[in-house]
Structure 1
Amino acid sequence: MTTIIDSAVEKSAASPEALLKAAVSGAKPAESKAAAAPTAARAVRRFDAVTMGLAGAALAVGTVLGAGTAILATPRPQGTAVVLAEINAALEANRLEASRLAIASDRLDKSVAALKDAADAARSEAKARSAALTEKVGKTESALVAKIAALGERIEQAEKEQGARLAAAAAQAEKRTVASAAPPAPVAKPEPVQTGSIPDAKPKPAVIESWAVRDVYDGTAMLEDRRRRLVEVAIGDAIPGVGRVEAVERRGREWVVVTRQGLVTPQPW
């Protein structure tokens, strides 16, 4: 636009040159002024016309550009519907995803709560089992201690009884030694008896080989079998495998136990 205005100014400036040429050629100044007035008016009118044209052209160009911009800025109806549909679809997908995430979070919370409850139950059960096991172990230890104490008492009692028996056997053996060292009492000779016949001789009782007399004290005899088992018997007691004791008596230098099956005598084995 500035270029067009400059061109118009240059064309209006060219009019004085024509006027100068006319003056040189002999024209009068008045005539020059008269001739120059229409020329200047025409130049002004031309300048105004050009200016108006340029303004109209600029206005037209601006209008066209504004209309094009408005047209370009305004979305087409069909494109708007597609965009809105895509936005709605994206929003719906986001809502579905959010709902799915909410459901998954709820399930996760429930799973965590269930695991916590299971862990608490397991801890409670383990605690109860530990307490029961501790109590059972304590009872077992108490019972074992009681059994060991009772066994110790029995062993101690057995040792006392065995010591008493050994002491009694030693005392009896000492008495028998003293008795055997004493001189034997005189034996009266039997007076001859005149009879018309010989009396029947009594059968000699059998000797029981499975038992042996080891000691006798206070009417009680200590017997031993071949298995090295010791048994104390008195009159009326029963000897295993033999029978009832009928008497405990001394025959000569030996003590014997009289039973219905025979005599139990000292044996060398």
Structure 2
Amino acid sequence: MQTEKVIDHIVNWLKEYATNAKMEGFVVGISGGIDSAVTSSLCAKTGLKTLCVEMPIHQAKSQVDRAQEHISQLKERYSNVSDTRTDLTPVFEQFKNITPATEASATLDLALANTRARLRMTTLYYFAGLHRLLVAGTGNKVEDFGVGFFTKYGDGGVDLSPIADLLKSEVYTIAKELKVPDSIQNAAPTDGLFGDSRSDEDQIGASYDELEWAMKMKDSGKTANDFNGRELEVFTIFDRLNTVNQHKMNPIPVCKIPVNLI
């Protein structure tokens, strides 16, 4: 990958899109992870307003520390970067209190995790509306178009996706070039939606390097019959998630009314 040229291409694309949309810049949710760090850095390089928003919900201190380190570094390097913090923990707890009581279960945990992501999406659009900004998505290619590892209308609810054509490994390459803090580059990827230390790999069952391999194999026409051992296990994980999460990747189905019924 021609890293510097890719960075310039994305930065120019972001700037052109915002200018054509007559918007003043971008708002990015900062999680302390690699994707949001790279996305906010690319937005900052446009020279347009870039608002970094922290939105903790029972967040681990390590994630908060990384997010704050990144924001501080970005503000030192770019005068167009500002930040704000909205602690959504009380909102999340109030939501839990006013919804019907439900026994603890895996489905409850997942529903609450997705609720966290959707509260954050709502918050980002609030700030976007206040300041005439575009919500910049932080999803990469493996997450957005491989395994669908994002929340529909949560972190998937954005105006534009600057890094969604980059594999996770390519995001790391760009992060190094952009001088994203080492603490973020070395941290295990996590969505931070469950209030514990589980990583993306813990949830998915495969690393991003493995998922990239499986994505390339599937794109080349390979099937599960072509593999065995760990390769078969990883390919099966990827293939299953790619199938069940198509509803996230495809446009919303529209019921078309036959002309003779109108």
- TM-score range relative to shorter protein: under 0.3
Structure whose residues are more often helix by fraction: 1
Report which structure shows greater RCO (CA 8 Å, sep ≥6). 2
Please give the TM-score of this superposition, normalised by the length of structure 1. Answer: 0.17
Structure whose residues are more often strand by fraction: 1
Higher radius of gyration, 1 or 2:
1
Please give the TM-score of this superposition, normalised by the length of structure 2. Answer: 0.17
